[in-house]
Amino acid sequence: MEKETINGFVEKVVYRNAENGYTVVNISVEGDDVVCTGYFSDITEGDQIIAEGSFVEHKQYGIQFTVTSYEIKEPETSVAMEKYLGSGIIKGVGPALSAKIVKKFGDETFNIIEREPERLAEIKGITEKKAIEIGSQFEEKKEFRNAMIFLNQYGVSNALAMKIYKEYGIKVMKIVRENPYRLADDIAGVGFKTADEIALRMGFSPESSMRMKAGISFALSMAASNGHTYLLYEDLYEESKRLLGISEVEFENDIYELTIERKIVLKEVKGERRVYNNNLYYMELTVARKLLDLNAKSENNYKVMEAKVREVEAKTGIKLGDLQRKAVYEAVESGLVIITGGPGTGKTTTINAIIKLFEMQNMEILLAAPTGRAAKRMTETTGMEAQTIHRLLELNGNPEEGGSMRFERNELNPLEADVIIIDEMSMVDIYLMYSLLKAITVGTRLILVGDVNQLPSVGPGKVLKDIISSEKFNVVRLSEIFRQAAESDIITNAHKINAGQSIRLDNKSKDFFMLSMSSSIQIQRALVSLIAEKLPPYVDATKYDIQVLTPSRKGELGVENLNKILQQYINPPAPGKREKQWGEVIFRENDKVMQIKNDYQMEWKIVTKKGLTIKEGSGVFNGDCGIIREINEFAGTVTVEFDEGKLVEYTGATLEELELAYAITIHKSQGSEYPAVIIPLLNAPKPLLNRNLLYTAVTRARKCVTIVGSENSVNEMIQNESEMKRNSGLVDSIIEMEEADNVYI
């Protein structure tokens, strides 16, 4: 598209999204009315702007000018000033009052408002207080414009400039001039590379200590996003060297300064030098301390307890196995107990027995899980309401009023319960565990349930595995596969995979199939056929319920490529079906999508069929899946319906938190369960083809597993028991804390 420049006055602001600044305006250019779209929340009616962009033809709204950059010209004539002031940009000043002001002061109007605002009181109808308010608002608007111009000159887009201004306000220029690398720490969506580009454009030296320290902090942040709570000193140096070209001496000096500034912690453990982000280090210590504090034993009469368990069995009609019975006893006797086991080993039955036993004693019980889907499944299997951990901890906050998102439940406002049961613990990272434990007082029983053989959490740490590995807590490992579960090849094969045993792939099963194929093209065609035609009637589900789980994001059988292919066949373009392009992705109404990061500020609502809001809240989380219900091309919004009918509106930059979900990585499927899963396996990097990954994928299916691809790849995964190494110091922190306790006993 050919770039063009237009110069004109803003006649009307047709639409504006207050959150991201996306705006539709009518601009008068030499008498012609031009519809312009773009991200410019600072312009108002009466402004004269010079805009650069391209004319495009919108299929619904006709010819529009899409603005890529613009400049607002300060009104220079009394006519322009009157139009600007009367536009409503200054609260309490309308067209009539604007006309009086300009009539009184003429071309000097803006100088008077800026330098001598008290003189506005000379006009009938303006008090001295109102005059000062008008001057204050005028100054604030000017500061905003100056900030936008300042950021734009360093290559910052209008949408990002809006986010930065919302964070820093009128201090934005001072903060960015002093340390542009703060943007990477303070602004969601700004990484080190973006901040670095801005800093270098501003003239900061590539060798500056500020840059080096910011790069080191960024390397630690990236390590956390890959699951590590710390990096070894040598590994951090190598990563920093790659990123910054830093010398060993410079690195050592910067590490020392970051330690003094309390941004990192350098700790030697077992001959290793570990470098932690300051927050993660103290989170691990706090989690260790709280777990040990909760781990109290109570004295119980064994005969009385046994009689109560028999009563539970009689009331529920269930017969507990020996290990399940042991788990129930531990739950009664211990302040903290961990129950782990694979599919079909009776975790749900055990939880239900524990709940029934505590209910008989009139105890207050709370149930929670890391994701909405996991909580929903917990509700279905127990008959009690289960919540997400975020909801349990009462996520709250009002960013619009300068606040931040926070959990209302904490050490000052703890959860009021006798028993708290958390399911799907393998998904809980160190951040969430820290917040949860802060809200639990000593004396409350905490029961952690999960499958330790599944993949670890997406966030940093391996909390469940570390708690078990520390050998300091009461752990019950359920291992008996019950008769009904043993009839499922999904469950029996999952246990075989976990044990490193070969599985039968002869397609004589009713719920576990292997379609042998040798090329990516064949596999892609098979996926389309299975989802669109064969599997939905077989498992009594819709095509949206069938989930493709793949080991990788890249490659012909990776998430990104498969989603493009599957979208084309499962939800093709159609007349009247609206679309929205974001980067290389085209979102289409009725697309299956997934939230790919925790966004505590994202607002949702539940509405009736008539559109009345009956419930609203905030928080959409990594792994939440939904369907695009509406794309508003005019407003630039995409509305997604998630579980429980929660409607979320995505606009502008928030679309980067969304991706197509016909195919997702196995890691992203944690905590979810699907009627049928399809696993394409051919070639992938060896670290991705491991037992842990295959086991997790298989255990996501309720009714049917279909592996499409190479039997050799399946066998390689079963034999490869190596997992992606993840640095976590929780075990050492637990042991260190307990040893310190023993010193003082």
Kindly list the strands in the beta sheet with 264-269, ordered across the sheet, starting from the edge strand earlier in the chain: 230-232, 272-277, 264-269
Count of H-run helices and E-run strands, the chain: 27, 30
Which residue type, as a one-letter code, is found at position 217?
Answer: S
DSSP state of 534: I
Taking residue 600's Cβ as centre, other Cβ atoms within 10 Å add up to 17
Neighbour-count burial of 478, counting CB atoms closer than 10 A to its CB (0-12 exposed, 13-18 middle, 19+ buried): buried
Contact 280, 230 (CB under 8 A): yes
Whether the Cβ atoms of residue 494 and residue 694 lie closer than 8 Å to each other: no
Sequence-separated (6 or more) residues with CB below 8 Å from residue 179: 210
Judged by DSSP in three states, 704 sits in strand
- In this structure, the strands spanning 592-595 and 625-632 are antiparallel
In 639-668, which positions are buried (b, 16+ CB within 10 angstroms) versus exposed (e)? bbbbeeebbbbbbbbbbebbbbbbbbbbbb
Number of Cα atoms under 13 Å in the Cβ half of residue 674: 30
CA distance 315 to 167: 57
Q: Is 555 annotated as a binding residue?
A: no
Q: Would you say the C-alpha torsion 700, 701, 705, 708 has a positive or negative sign?
A: negative
User: Which residues lie closer than 8 Å to 90 by C-beta, 6 or more apart?
Assistant: 134, 137, 138, 141
Cβ–Cβ under 8 Å, residues 211 and 223? no
The residue count of the chain comes to 745
| Structure tokens, 499 | 């044990």
Q: Which residues of 488-511 are buried (b: 16+ CB within 10 A; e: fewer)?
A: bbbbbbbbbbbeeeebebeeebeb
Please state, in angstroms and rounded to a whole number, the distance separating the CA atoms of residues 334 and 522.
Answer: 54
Residue 92, annotated as binding a ligand? no
> Is residue 346 a known part of a binding site?
yes
DSSP sequence for 54-96: EEEEETTTEEEEEEEEEEEEPP-SHHHHHHHHTTTSSTT--HH
* C-beta separation of 505 from 714 below 8 A: yes
> What is the edge-to-edge ordering of all strands in the sheet holding 546-550?
512-516, 701-709, 674-681, 546-550, 663-665
The Cα–Cα gap between 8 and 5 comes to: 10
Q: How far apart are CA 618 and CA 123, in angstroms?
A: 46
Task: Please name the residues in contact with 442: beta carbons below 8 A apart, sequence gap of 6 or more.
Answer: 293, 294, 296, 335
How far apart (Å, rounded) are the C-alpha atoms in residues 471 and 474?
8
Q: Are strands 585-588 and 579-582 parallel, antiparallel or unpaired?
A: antiparallel
Cβ-contact 368, 382 below 8 angstroms = no
* 510 known ligand binder: no
Feature table: binding site: 344-348
Question: Residues at the annotated binding site for ATP?
Answer: 344-348
